[in-house]
Each structure stands twice: as C-alpha cells, then as structure tokens.
Amino acid sequence: MKNRLNRRDFLKKSTTTVLGAGLALKTGFSLSAETPGQSRVVEIKHSGAVEAERKVNTHAVKEMLQKGMQSLTGSENPWSKFIKPGETVGLKINTLGRPLLFTHHELIQAVSEDLLAFGVKENNIIVWDRFERHMQDCKFTFNRDKEGIRCYGTEALDKSQNRFDPEVSYKSDFDNPDKRGDGGNISQLSRIFTEECDKIINMAILKDHRLSGVTLCLKNLAYGVSDNNGRFHGPKHIGPFISDLCTHPLLKKKVVLHMIDGLEACYDMGPAPRNPKALFTPQTLWLGTDPVALDTVGFQVIDAERKERGLPVLAESGRPIDHIELAGKKGIGVSDLSQIKLDKISLS
C-alpha cells in the first residue's frame, strides 16, 4: 500500500497548532437529508437488543445494523458507499473497559457477516485494538493466519510481534515530560492502521472517562492508533492531543465509518468500570461519517443518564470534554448540536 508517510512529513509541531483545518471525515457521497454545514447521525434503538443478565440478542443487533446502514446511506447496498470488495477492512474496537464493557462480540459479528456478504474476503477483515492483553481479557481469540478473520493487537502479548510503524509518528512537546516513555516526545502509529488496512471502521463504546470526560469515536482513534500517549494524560494535554491526532490525513483517507456501541454503556467510573452498577443499557447503536457529531450526541446521552441518577454532568465533575469542540474547530466535523441531524429508528 502507498500510504506510508515519512516522519518528517507528519506532525512536527506541538498540539497547540491547528493542523488539518478544513478536513472533514467524509467519504465522498451525499448522505440523505444532509445539508451543507450539517452532519447526520443515525440512532437505532431496539427494545429487545439486551435481554436479562446482560445477554445480547444477536438477531436484534444484526437488524439494527442493517436498518441503520440503509438509513445512513439511502441504499440497499450500503457497504458499497464505503469500501470495495478487494480491500482489507480493519474493525477498530475498544477493549479498555474490560472485563465489564467492550465492543460487543455480537456487533463485531454482525459487521463481519455483512462485509462477507458484500464480498470482502474473510482474511481481509482484521479485528484489532491497541493492547492484546485487553483483548484477551474480553475473550477474543487471536488469529494471525492466512485463513479466517484476523484478530490481534498492536501491542502484542509477545513483544516481538508488536506492530508499530517507526516511519509514521506523532511528535509533540505539548505534553507532560515526566510521563514520557522510551519514545520521548514521539508516538509511533500502529502498523495495522498505517500499512495493513485499506479502510477502517471505528467501533467505539458509549462510556465516560475520568480524564477526557468521554471515550467515544475521537478518543478510540487517537489513543488506539498510537503508543507513548500516557504523556498526554492531564486536563491541559488530553483534549489538544486527541483533536490534533485526529487531523492526520490517513484518518481522513482510511476511517470511513464510525459507530458508537451503546447496547450497554457506562455513565460513571470509566474508562474501565469495575462495578456493574456503573453500567446502563441504552440498547442503542449510533452510526455516521462524522466522529465529532457522533461524540457530541454520545456525551449528551451520558450526561442525561448522570442527571437522572442525581450525578453532576461531566463538565461539572472536573472532567473536560474539550476535545470534541476542539476537533470541531479544526474542521474534523460538527460539534454544534443544532447543526446535527439526528435520525431515530425504533425497533422491537
């Protein structure tokens, strides 16, 4: 693949610089009922998606995905709007909330089955996240073979199998130097992202985060595709880092679809809740091509749940959500709720 960028050609300035201004994560087709300056999010709720004892209904999830994709694209062949059958498609999941909350196996299965039916080869689907130890806790079965759906992480259980790309990196001095790893002020990007996949489907989780406020689409990408990013853990640095990394031209090129898995969700104690009482069950899936719009909708859902439970909203609990607005200002997407068209589908 001819998508490699030399380190000199990537991000050389600190994250205080507005990079990639004007780049919107669009895929080159018109979304139904979307006007200029407006983004569209499709919300699909199914009353039977999650049954007693947290059992997810596979058939309900598959119906949610298919109805949502048809609504988003206005097409009976929705995957053709995003990918070609010969391409390698990466499903960027989120397993940080292990063992209680992660991208649901049932949703991953539904997406994979749709891709196979569309014509993507089985071995050209890669289910991946940053840490294999997190994936292992979520009962994912690793597969690096030339047959079957592939499944592995960037930071492998066996360090000799780590998949970082030394030629594509993010350099920033706007961090906490005391938290820098061996890479110093440089974070390498995942080779799964830079080399192995032609297209990426971002499969985020609906959950709060003790530092960034929420972990949704933008954070799932920024922290999921790079290493040495603990140096940005802090109220001054985390928002600028997330929004800055998401201006990378490879993200614009490769990440063609975003999802928020809200079958189950977390309103408090995130990003890795240890108490099941912090979970709630929206039984909802959100789809779109604009991660900023999706995150704007998602954090409103979390805030509403917090209010209902007598908790302060995220902004009042000392956890900024500035990365969403910053990403909007950098042209990644729309953060103004009034400019987001939310189409709701209710299934039962």
CA 312 – CA 306 distance, rounded (Å):
7
Q: The whole model's pTM is what?
A: 0.91
Contact by Cβ (8 Å): 222, 241: yes
pLDDT digits (tens, 9 = 90+) for 329-343: 999 999 999 999 999
pLDDT digits (tens, 9 = 90+) for 32-67: 556 667 899 999 999 999 999 999 999 999 999 999
User: In the predicted model, is pLDDT for residue 321 greater than 90?
Assistant: no
CA 228 – CA 189 distance, rounded (Å):
10
Helix (H) or strand (E) holding 214: strand 213-215
Cis peptide leading into residue 271 (ω within 30°)? yes
Q: What is the mean pLDDT of residues 166-182?
A: 95
Coil, strand or helix: which one is 61?
helix
User: Could you state, in order of their start, the residue ranges of all structural domains in the chain?
Assistant: 7-347
pLDDT value, residue 1: 43
Which of 238, 250, 231, 232 is closest to 213 using CA atoms? 238
Contact by Cβ (8 Å): 40, 84: no
Helix (H) or strand (E) holding 92: strand 89-92
pLDDT value, residue 305: 98
User: In the predicted model, is pLDDT for residue 284 greater than 70?
Assistant: yes
Coil, strand or helix: which one is 109?
helix
Average of per-residue pLDDT values in the chain: 91
CA 154 – CA 291 distance, rounded (Å):
22
For the record, the structure tokens of 212 come out as 């960034």
What length is written for the chain? 348
For the record, the structure tokens of 125 come out as 């689907």
User: In the predicted model, is pLDDT for residue 190 greater than 80?
Assistant: yes
pLDDT digits (tens, 9 = 90+) for 241-254: 999 999 999 998 99
User: In the predicted model, is pLDDT for residue 290 greater than 80?
Assistant: yes
Please, what sign has the CA dihedral across residues 172, 174, 177, 181? Answer: negative
Contact by Cβ (8 Å): 278, 266: yes
Q: What is the mean pLDDT of residues 95-124?
A: 98
